Every structure is written in C-alpha cells, then in structure tokens.
Amino acid sequence: MKSIIFPLVFAVSGSLLLNKVGVKASDFTGISAVDVVAVVGSKTFYKDASNLYVSFLEFLQFCHANDMTTSSIESAEEQAAIVAYFNDTRYVEFLWLGGWDINNEGNWRWIDGDAQMSYTNWLPNAPNGGLAKNCAHFRPFSPHQWFDTPCVNDKNVAFCHKITT
C-alpha cells in the first residue's frame, strides 16, 4: 500500500481530531463495502456504500485502509462519468475530494502524489474559504461542482479511486 507523508501541521491537527472523535486507525482496517461509481480508462472511482459521514482525516484512512487513494478528478471526462452515475442514482450527499491547500493558501493540490490540480470544477467564487476551508468536497448533484470546506467537516462521504493496470 502506498504511504502518504502528511505535512506536520495536518499530522498534529489530525492526531488531535482522532483523539477528539475517538477514531483509531484500526477502526478502518480491512475492506469496507464500496459502490463502483465510474470507470474512466485505468481509473475506477468508488464511494463508501454505507454513506457514512466522515471527516477528512477519516476519509484518508478509509481510502488507504481499502487499498485505494483519495479521489482526484483530473479531467472533464472523469467529471462527466462521475456526474452521470450520480444523476442516475439521484444521490444527494457531498463527497470528499482528495484535494487541499493546507500547505500554501490558494495553491490547491491532490494530496496523493502532491500534484497541482490541472483540471478543476469549482463553484463560481470558490474556493473562497481562506485559512478556514482547506479541503475540497464535491456536490455530485446539480450544479455538480466543487467547494472548499473545513477539513473537520464531518458531513461528507468517502470517495476514493484505484488505478488498475
């Protein structure tokens, strides 16, 4: 399994968050039930089938415990395939995206691989949260766009992907 090196700021706040909510890494071991959302090329997108609301840190743990990486939507084609699934299912929950600007305000990056976001689908006037909103989430129902939100927000569902060869 690929490991992630988190910035010290997030590692410290993540430890505090874990203690606050009583979540341990061992709570996310093994394969959890996931729904296949879309397959685009060699990338398969999944969401937590339980639709359990989790914080950003819990989302990271969920994806990695299930041998996946946090979601990164890197093209209009991927965005369209994901939106098509959610339009068909009439899904109305917000999903975590694996993007943040916690290291450098306004410099949004995918956390797995630390790549700059080359494709984005932000809501007009977003991201706009300044230092208070450093994590990205996705509204898969209309208008199908991305928002910035506080990383401690616990009203999002885990959304991961896996590359197959």
Task: List per-residue pLDDT tens for the chain, 165 residues long.
Answer: 333 333 323 333 333 333 333 444 444 445 579 999 999 999 999 999 999 999 999 999 999 999 999 999 999 999 999 999 998 888 888 999 999 999 999 999 999 888 999 999 999 999 999 999 999 999 988 889 999 999 999 999 999 999 987
Q: Which domains does the chain have, with CATH numbers?
A: 8-163 (3.10.100.10)
Supply the DSSP string of the chain, one letter for each residue: -------HHHHHHHHHHHHHHT--GGGG-SPPPEEEEEEETTEEEEEETT--EE-HHHHHHHHHHTT-EE----SHHHHHHHHHHHHHHT---EEEEEEE-SSSTT--EETTTTEE-SS--BPTT-S--GGG--EEEE--STT--EEEE-TT---EE-EEEEE--
pLDDT of residue 13: 32
pTM assigned to the model: 0.80
